[in-house]
Amino acid sequence: MREHLPTSYKHILEPLTIGEVEIKHRIMVTGHTQLYGNNGTLSQRHIDYYRERAKGGVALMVLEQQAAHPSGKNYSSGCEAWNKKSVPWYERLAEVVHEHGCKQFVQLFCCGAQGNGTQYFDDWRPLWAASRIPSAISGEMPVAMEKKDINDLVDHFARSALNVRESGLDGIEIHAAHSQLLGEFLSPAFNKRKDEYGGSIENRCRIILEISSAIRKAVGRDFPLGLRLSFDEYLGDAGITGDQSEKQIRIFSESKLFDFYDISGGGYHNLHIAVAPMGTVTEGFLASSAARVKKIVRENEKVFVVGKFLDLGHAEKVLADGHADVVAMTRAHMADPFLVSKSLNGKQSEITKCIGANVCVKRLIEDREVTCFQNPAMGREEKFGSGTISKVEAKNRKTISVIGGGPAGLRFSGTAAEAGHKVRLFETEEKLGGHLNVLKLLPTRTAWQIGIDNLVSRIEKNKVEIFTEWVPDINLLSDDLIVIATGSYWSTRGYSPYRPERDGIPKQGNTNVLDISSAILTVDQNPEALGKKIVIVDETGDYLPLGLAEILSKHGVNVNLISPKPFIGAETQRTLDMPHVMPRLKKAGVNFIALNFIEKIENDIVHIYDIWGGDSRQIGNVDSVVLAISRFPNEKFYIEHSPEFSSMKRIGDVVAPRKLEAIIFEAEKTAREI
């Protein structure tokens, strides 16, 4: 079979031996949290998730972090590697991934200070850490581990490793990155110890060497063992630097305990670098770090690298340049499990490309099951995975008109057409994509066009008839089913749940008030069209108002960004956009006014007040006010015509404006239920 594969990926297609295990090529998926666990073990949802990606052609996967000690769990669905009850699930995982020629390693970890001591209701305990340094995220003060705690930890890691080996899985990765417990021991930012586990780099490496030696005694020399490391914590000399990492890796390499090093970066101070959102870090930004590691390690020690690799062409170049032995494409495989097989078979146009929207990260931070907004099958492989769309018989085939070419209409059309229905898509605008066409106009957001392309390529593949610039004509819609996906609009009323006694913001005089979407479209054509002094009122906490503020401020506009919420842009904290965009806005002089709202707008004066009380104040000489408060359904077409058509149904924002991942899921589910 190999002779028929494209030669352009010759470095990717070279098999590789890691310890005593051979992987079929050089593309992998690193350990990443799904939160599908059940009562301390994996679940069938895990099995289905990993099977799908093994089936899609990836060569190596690392199981999401498995706690090696009771102190180590930090999610509500955390799994317990030390517990024998996990072994049957590991056995099932091994069976399904091996069926497709994929190898599966297991990541063993403990959370350290980055956990929550009251996460598990019947097992509240103080967090273990290298030193009494609290997390930059939770602020919970941990207890510094004593020698007896370290000995207990070492024993549990060995026990966990033995469970992995006995299950038939293929190797172990010790998580020593991203400010988790072992990463804390390595980092001068977290390790302030005065004993043999602190101070010098050699001392900070000691606990990892002790754990790894115990694992080797438990599982032998022929079982792959490696480390995941943050090559740079991006904290300057306060944390791990590249120079320090080189010294650490020399120590680890000289120990001859390890078969591979999985190179990442950052930690809990800067997750926005480790899992960077769209438009921020460059693709493959850690390749140079991996190259430095390659120069240090022994020939038989392999180097894996992560860092926003989105296509096999880029991975091929990194491998050809000798910067790494294996390239990880993790979020890319969340978006499309068949990334590898599609690429190797010349079907790149069919790949759903990751755009870094970080809905996956947002759900992880919220401690909820992780999914990808572009791939509603992620975590739902049993219902939505490959092979679950059955072609309808000819007698059941419907002719369907879909009104609206935004995300919901596009997703529904692609799935319904793939099932065999005849689908016609009608869009009044020139371009497909709906409100994504607004999002893509913002700074660093051009990847939203890729999101549109992903949806459009699927409907084109499945031969959906597309009518753009459509003038609504109900006579064209005498089909078996009419699906209304006309989306939503931003309101300029200014109604807010913070002021339930009024219908909106009182306005007097000749006030230029725009909704956020119209404002962005206007400014895209002429950045000075709204005037020299602008007030943006935001209740969404999303990127949209921040992006508009950035465009305006770059053109010398005085921008005041007001929100009744505790701080501006709250939702961007969860997608990890906040640490990237906020410094840019502050540097540009955008004025943030949190915990405030508008009392009224009077000509060019905006009257605002602190929501906790006190006198109102004024912002004068305002040229335009932009409202990002409420979206309402574009339901006029549905209301007018639904009485005529019993077969008419709504999907997406026209039902109720919601998060993008919710409407994509609804569109997929509805299309499958026809």
Q: Is 158 exposed, middle or buried (0-12, 13-18, 19+ CB in 10 A)?
A: buried
Q: Which residues contact 221 (CB under 8 A, 6 or more apart)?
A: none
The share of the chain scoring above pLDDT 70, in percent, equals 99
- Asked if 378 and 633 count as a contact pair (C-beta separation under 8 A), the reply is no
- Asked if 128 and 49 count as a contact pair (C-beta separation under 8 A), the reply is no
Q: For 85-133, what is each residue's pLDDT tens digit?
A: 999 999 999 999 999 999 999 999 999 999 999 988 989 999 999 999 9
Which of helix, strand or coil describes residue 537?
strand
Q: Say how far apart CA 186 and CA 110 lie, in whole Å.
A: 14
Q: Domain residues for 604?
A: 507-629
- Same domain assignment for residues 483 and 559: no
6 pLDDT higher than 60: no
- Same domain assignment for residues 602 and 643: no
**In the structure, what pLDDT confidence band is assigned to residue 225 with cuts at 50, 70 and 90?**
very high
| For residues 356-371, average pLDDT | 95
Look up residue 519 and give its amino acid.
A
Q: Say how far apart CA 19 and CA 301 lie, in whole Å.
A: 8
Q: Say how far apart CA 432 and CA 446 lie, in whole Å.
A: 15
pTM: 0.96
- Same domain assignment for residues 97 and 158: yes
Read off the CATH number of the domain in which 615 is found: 3.50.50.60
- Same domain assignment for residues 120 and 167: yes
pLDDT of residue 7: 58
Residue with tokens 């120590």: 251
Q: Choose one of 319, 347, 375: the last residue of a domain.
A: 347
pLDDT of residue 510: 83
| For residues 415-422, average pLDDT | 97
611 pLDDT higher than 70: yes
- Same domain assignment for residues 597 and 625: yes
| For residues 406-426, average pLDDT | 97
* 501 part of a folded domain: no
| For residues 303-307, average pLDDT | 97
- Same domain assignment for residues 132 and 220: yes
The count of other CB atoms within 10 Å of the CB of residue 556 is 11
- Give CA separation, 7 vs 26, 281, 317, 342, in Å: 14, 30, 13, 15
- Asked if 274 and 267 count as a contact pair (C-beta separation under 8 A), the reply is yes
pLDDT of residue 474: 82
DSSP, res 269: T
- Same domain assignment for residues 435 and 461: yes
| Strands (DSSP E) found in 138-259 | 143-144, 171-176, 225-230
- Give CA separation, 599 vs 214, 247, 293, 399, in Å: 66, 60, 59, 51
pLDDT of residue 56: 98
Read off the CATH number of the domain in which 228 is found: 3.20.20.70
11 pLDDT higher than 60: yes
Q: Which residues contact 643 (CB under 8 A, 6 or more apart)?
A: none
pLDDT of residue 475: 79
The share of the chain scoring above pLDDT 90, in percent, equals 92
**In the structure, what pLDDT confidence band is assigned to residue 156 with cuts at 50, 70 and 90?**
very high
Q: Is 491 exposed, middle or buried (0-12, 13-18, 19+ CB in 10 A)?
A: middle
- Same domain assignment for residues 526 and 419: no
- Same domain assignment for residues 72 and 45: yes
5 pLDDT higher than 60: no
* 486 part of a folded domain: yes
* 571 part of a folded domain: yes
* 169 part of a folded domain: yes
Size of the chain, expressed as the number of residues it contains: 674
- The angle, 0 to 180 degrees and rounded to 10, between the axes of the packed helices 87-98 and 147-167 is 40
- Same domain assignment for residues 270 and 400: no
* 620 part of a folded domain: yes
- Same domain assignment for residues 646 and 521: no
Read off the CATH number of the domain in which 660 is found: 3.40.50.720
pLDDT of residue 473: 84
* 379 part of a folded domain: no
* Domains of the chain: total: 3
Q: Say how far apart CA 559 and CA 540 lie, in whole Å.
A: 17
Closest CA to 142 of 206, 198, 72: 72
Largest CA-CA distance found in the chain, in angstroms, rounded: 82
- Asked if 315 and 327 count as a contact pair (C-beta separation under 8 A), the reply is yes
| For residues 470-474, average pLDDT | 88
* 371 part of a folded domain: no
- Same domain assignment for residues 196 and 250: yes
Q: For 615-651, what is each residue's pLDDT tens digit?
A: 889 999 999 999 999 999 999 999 999 988 888 999 9
pLDDT of residue 476: 76
Q: Choose one of 320, 347, 374: the last residue of a domain.
A: 347
pLDDT of residue 13: 97
* 369 part of a folded domain: no
Q: Say how far apart CA 431 and CA 442 lie, in whole Å.
A: 17
545 pLDDT higher than 70: yes
